[in-house]
Amino acid sequence: MFDAGLTLRLANSRFREMFALPPELTRPGASFEAIIRCMTERGEYGPGDVEEMVAHRVEKARRFEPHYFERERPDGRVISIEGHPLTPGGWVTVYTDITAIRAQERLLRARSETLSEKLLAHSEDLARANRELATTIADLREAKSALAESEARIRLITRMTPAHIAHLDLTQTYTWSNDQLPLVIPGATGQVVGRGIAQVLGPEAYNIIRPELDRALAGEARAFQFSLSDGPRWLRAAFTPDLDETGRVQGVYILSVDMTEEARARQALSHTAKRELAAQLTSGLAHDFSNILTVILGLQSRLGGMDLPPKAREAVAATRAAAERGGALIERLGSISGARSLTPRPTDPAELLSGLLPLARPALPDQVVLELETVPREPVLVDSGFLQDAVLNLILNARDALDGQPGRITLGAVLTAERLEITVADTGPGFTEEALTRATQPFFTTKRGAPGSGLGLAMVYDFARASGGRLRLANAPGGGARVTIALPARRPAALPPGLVLLAEDDADIRDALREDLVALGHTVIEAGTGEEAARLLAQVEGIGLVLSDLVLGPGLSGLDLARGIRQATVCAPDALPDRATIGDGAPAPPSGTLPRTTPSPAGQPTGAPAGTAAPPDAAPPPAAPPVAATAAGGPPVTAAPPDAAPSGARGTRAAPPAAPSGAHLDRFASPAASLSEASPAGAAPPGAAPSARHLQAGAAGRAAPLPRLVLMTGLPPDDPRRQEAARLATLLPKPFTRAELAACLASIT
């Protein structure tokens, strides 16, 4: 079987034996001309000029016409030659030794008169032979058709494969290709057959793959990865030697694919794993250290309110600044682990942008000018850390767009009743049409050959969307790019005083926070455990805000309180005996325990100094009547009033003041929320602390508003507990100052 180029593709052993051809002329790849020349030189076609006879037969073969003829060989044997052209090109030739048949025919003709009966007797044998020959021809035709279909199918499959598949001969010339090279190397031509690989790939790519190709041509299978300098693309190539029957290399098969997306995904997974490990290492450190810094900042706030000498005030200010820097360091340690939840805080746009200038200028070349236009100074509620990162990203993008040329980067902001719009503009070349469409897609970058992850604008876009805003990209009329972050303009509101439940297991932190809250005008009741806080929520009417640490030691945590408030139920446990244990084995606090209460100046008991608790021997106010709570489906339950000292209470604490007015509580309350839960059969035993299953918050017949909840935390941003808390409550990262506490309380309107 020969192809369209008259190259031998298939020959059986009978062909070699019939003409006694050397092995190299019966292997795939031998040329028709070489075979004819060998046979002519042996006298297969009789005397005559060898070149003329070879040329004549090659010319006839190139016509690819069906043919059948018989000839007598020099040794006297007779053969038949039958040729059939193939659809893709080439033809199949069947050589049959018919010497015996012809001899038999001659014998039959000679004996026709005397052996007619024998001839008739042998006619069936002849017919059988003819049928077998016909079957053989039919099988050959079927094999030819199946071969053509298989070849067409393989070509279709290879053309549909998103990879470059090809074959090179020993001269490194393409003999076959699926024309998919442009998928792997953009800009390369798909028509490569007949061309050398060095010419097709170009000097850079060829010099990279040449050592591997040389080893493949030496018989060694190779697989490797490489990248080119014209972009952040990674390619994988495999070279497989093409061996003949004797193991000699005839060429190389090539398979190459673009693995850029796979490499990026692997890099992202590795990056995520590193951040998760960093989160685990920093989680405990961040929580404990933030508690220490919270105590330090609380003490510094107390010292700042004292009449101190100038040098002492300078020392207090320096200590406070160092503690605040430590808090920022803790936040940065936590942020290396990955996702951060948005924490809106009252932020002055002018102060934020002016504070960015000294951070950004060292990263800019001398010929680039960074300017700040007039910016409004009205505070709005945004996550200042995220916003600062976003604007800094845009400044660095503008620097890269200027590409070392002299230019100008301008920061500006516009504040309306609806929006805060911060714009970063540059005098660079502006956005291309493709960049305007795809710039916010992860991993898209125009920094060909330069470092860049393609994540900067995508992160800015995600921040804007998460904040309820949008990101606008445009080209300025006079040239250059303009990127605008448009965010909702939510303003902080003033905080009226209210009754605050402070839950903190660290006594030093609790004392400092109590003083801060009293200074801000609030009435404070305290709880040292989650169980104590839950009982107060069940017993004390009028709590408008719960300020709790996220981690409260054994037993109920601040997160448990948040879940209970979110579900409109108090998570207090049932009254338990004193020897019972909670959580990990810590003894349960005695039922009915009440905390120390610190009234605000506005709500202090008569005769008590502002911000102080009533002394233990002071005459208690008249006993409040028991709170009647009606459990659904059960009898009324009488709970001890908040100002009654229950039997077995820990220590003696002053009774809390009267609940603030409803106007004060509305500041925290959800409009239509109430704490209620159906009670199972039965009621709380007399004198026991009310449980969540037996109590409704508020007086009988009146629904109490749900308190708002602020959770203090020093956990890193990707800690699952902090992430859940962010969905249930307002977060206040530790450590914080009194001003930051006030800003947080103002932000939950």
Confidence of residue 443 (pLDDT cuts 50, 70, 90): low
Average pLDDT for 20-41? 90
The answer on 692 and 725 residing in a single domain is: yes
pLDDT at 362: 82
Q: Highest-confidence range of 321-325, 457-461, 577-581, 680-684, by mean pLDDT?
A: 457-461
8 Å CB contact between 2 and 8: yes
DSSP code for 486: E
Helix boundaries (H) for 415-555: 433-438, 456-466, 507-519, 530-539
Confidence of residue 46 (pLDDT cuts 50, 70, 90): confident
pLDDT at 689: 37
Which of residues 157, 192, 215 is at a domain's end? 157
pLDDT at 211: 93
Mean per-residue pLDDT of the chain: 75
8 Å CB contact between 513 and 488: no
Confidence of residue 274 (pLDDT cuts 50, 70, 90): low
pLDDT at 600: 42
pLDDT at 243: 93
The answer on 471 and 516 residing in a single domain is: no
Q: Is the confidence at residue 436, as pLDDT, over 90? A: no
Question: What CATH number should be reported for the domain holding residue 418?
Answer: 3.30.565.10
DSSP secondary structure string for all residues of 210-231: HHHHHHHHTT--EEEEEE-TTS
Q: Is the confidence at residue 41, as pLDDT, over 60? A: yes
On whether residue 340 sits in a domain, the answer given is no
Least confident of 488-497, 524-533, 727-736: 488-497
On whether residue 524 sits in a domain, the answer given is yes
pLDDT at 444: 58
At which residue do the structure tokens 């920093």 appear?
Answer: 282
Confidence of residue 325 (pLDDT cuts 50, 70, 90): low
Query: Residue 90: left if φ>0, alpha if ψ -120 to 50, beta else—which one?
Result: left
Average pLDDT for 654-662? 36
Instruction: Report how many helices (DSSP H) and strands (DSSP E) the chain contains, helices first.
Output: 21, 25
pLDDT at 548: 94
pLDDT at 749: 53
Backbone angles phi, psi at 234, to 5 degrees: -115, 135
Question: What CATH number should be reported for the domain holding residue 243?
Answer: 3.30.450.20
Tokens representing 404 are 């070392």
The answer on 550 and 660 residing in a single domain is: yes
pLDDT at 271: 64
**Number of structural domains the chain divides into:** 4
Which one is predicted more confidently, 232 or 57? 57
Q: Is the confidence at residue 284, as pLDDT, over 80? A: no
Domain that holds residue 85: 13-157
On whether residue 446 sits in a domain, the answer given is yes
Q: How far apart are CA 711 and CA 293, in angstroms?
A: 17
Confidence of residue 89 (pLDDT cuts 50, 70, 90): confident
Which one is predicted more confidently, 121 or 176? 176
DSSP code for 2: B
The answer on 665 and 599 residing in a single domain is: yes
Q: How far apart are CA 594 and CA 616, in angstroms?
A: 14
Q: Is the confidence at residue 233, as pLDDT, over 80? A: no
Q: How far apart are CA 114 and CA 377, in angstroms?
A: 130
pLDDT at 173: 94
Helix (H, G, I), strand (E, B) or coil at 101: helix
The answer on 165 and 153 residing in a single domain is: no
Which one is predicted more confidently, 357 or 273? 357
pLDDT at 608: 34
8 Å CB contact between 22 and 8: no
Q: How far apart are CA 430 and CA 435, in angstroms?
A: 9
- pLDDT tens digits for 309-323? 888 888 888 787 777
Angle, helices 507-519/260-304, rounded to nearest 10 degrees: 70
Which one is predicted more confidently, 330 or 368? 368
**Would you call 364 exposed, middle or buried from its count of C-beta atoms within 10 A (0-12, 13-18, 19+)?**
middle
On whether residue 328 sits in a domain, the answer given is no
Q: How far apart are CA 619 and CA 605, in angstroms?
A: 11
The answer on 137 and 63 residing in a single domain is: yes
8 Å CB contact between 639 and 690: yes
Confidence of residue 641 (pLDDT cuts 50, 70, 90): very low
pLDDT at 711: 87
Q: What HEC string does 593-629 produce? A: CCCCEECCHHHCCCCCCCCCCCCCCCCCCCCCCCEEE
On whether residue 292 sits in a domain, the answer given is no
pLDDT at 328: 65
The answer on 239 and 214 residing in a single domain is: yes
The answer on 168 and 138 residing in a single domain is: no
Average pLDDT for 94-113? 82
32: part of which helix (H) or strand (E)? helix 32-41
Confidence of residue 94 (pLDDT cuts 50, 70, 90): very high
pLDDT at 408: 93
Tokens representing 96 are 């049959």
pLDDT at 409: 93
At which residue do the structure tokens 């699952």 appear?
Answer: 720
Portion of the chain with pLDDT greater than 90, in percent = 17
- pLDDT tens digits for 61-82? 888 889 898 888 888 888 999 9
Strands (E), 620-683: 627-630, 636-639
DSSP code for 691: P
Which one is predicted more confidently, 258 or 458? 258
pLDDT at 38: 92
Q: Is the confidence at residue 440, as pLDDT, over 80? A: no
Backbone angles phi, psi at 93, to 5 degrees: -120, 135
On whether residue 33 sits in a domain, the answer given is yes
The per-residue b/e assignment along 658-689, b for 16 or more CB within 10 angstroms, e otherwise, is bbbeeebbebbbeeeeebbbebeeebbeeebb
Question: What CATH number should be reported for the domain holding residue 671?
Answer: 3.40.50.2300
The answer on 168 and 116 residing in a single domain is: no
pLDDT at 404: 84
Which one is predicted more confidently, 53 or 449? 53
8 Å CB contact between 19 and 11: no
Q: Is the confidence at residue 168, as pLDDT, over 90? A: yes
CB neighbourhood size of 275 (10 A): 16
The answer on 200 and 111 residing in a single domain is: no
The answer on 165 and 148 residing in a single domain is: no
Tokens representing 410 are 């301008």
Q: Which among 701, 630, 639, 697 has a CA at the least distance from the CA of 669? A: 697
Helix (H, G, I), strand (E, B) or coil at 112: coil
pLDDT at 445: 63
Confidence of residue 627 (pLDDT cuts 50, 70, 90): very low
DSSP secondary structure string for all residues of 252-298: EEEEEEE-HHHHHHHHHHHHHHHHHHHHHHHHHHHHHHHHHHHHHHH
Backbone angles phi, psi at 167, to 5 degrees: -135, 135
pLDDT at 572: 36
On whether residue 94 sits in a domain, the answer given is yes
The answer on 510 and 428 residing in a single domain is: no
pLDDT at 700: 34
Residue type, 735: P
CB neighbourhood size of 711 (10 A): 26
Residues in CB range of 693: below 8 A, 6 or more apart: 574, 631, 677, 679, 680
Q: Is the confidence at residue 85, as pLDDT, over 60? A: yes
Confidence of residue 607 (pLDDT cuts 50, 70, 90): very low
pLDDT at 212: 94
Q: How far apart are CA 542 and CA 311, in angstroms?
A: 45
Which of residues 98, 123, 157 is at a domain's end? 157
Q: Highest-confidence range of 117-126, 148-157, 192-201, by mean pLDDT?
A: 192-201
Q: How far apart are CA 450 and CA 465, in angstroms?
A: 28
At which residue do the structure tokens 């190139």 appear?
Answer: 62
Helix (H, G, I), strand (E, B) or coil at 547: strand
- pLDDT tens digits for 170-195? 999 999 888 888 888 877 777 889 99
Q: 733: cis peptide before it, omega within 30°?
A: no
Confidence of residue 334 (pLDDT cuts 50, 70, 90): low
Measured CA distances, 351 to 320, 372, 378 (Å) = 20, 11, 10
- Largest distance between two CA atoms of the chain: 156
Which of residues 128, 157, 186 is at a domain's end? 157
Q: Highest-confidence range of 105-119, 399-413, 452-466, by mean pLDDT?
A: 399-413
Residues in CB range of 649: below 8 A, 6 or more apart: 590, 592, 593, 594
On whether residue 649 sits in a domain, the answer given is yes
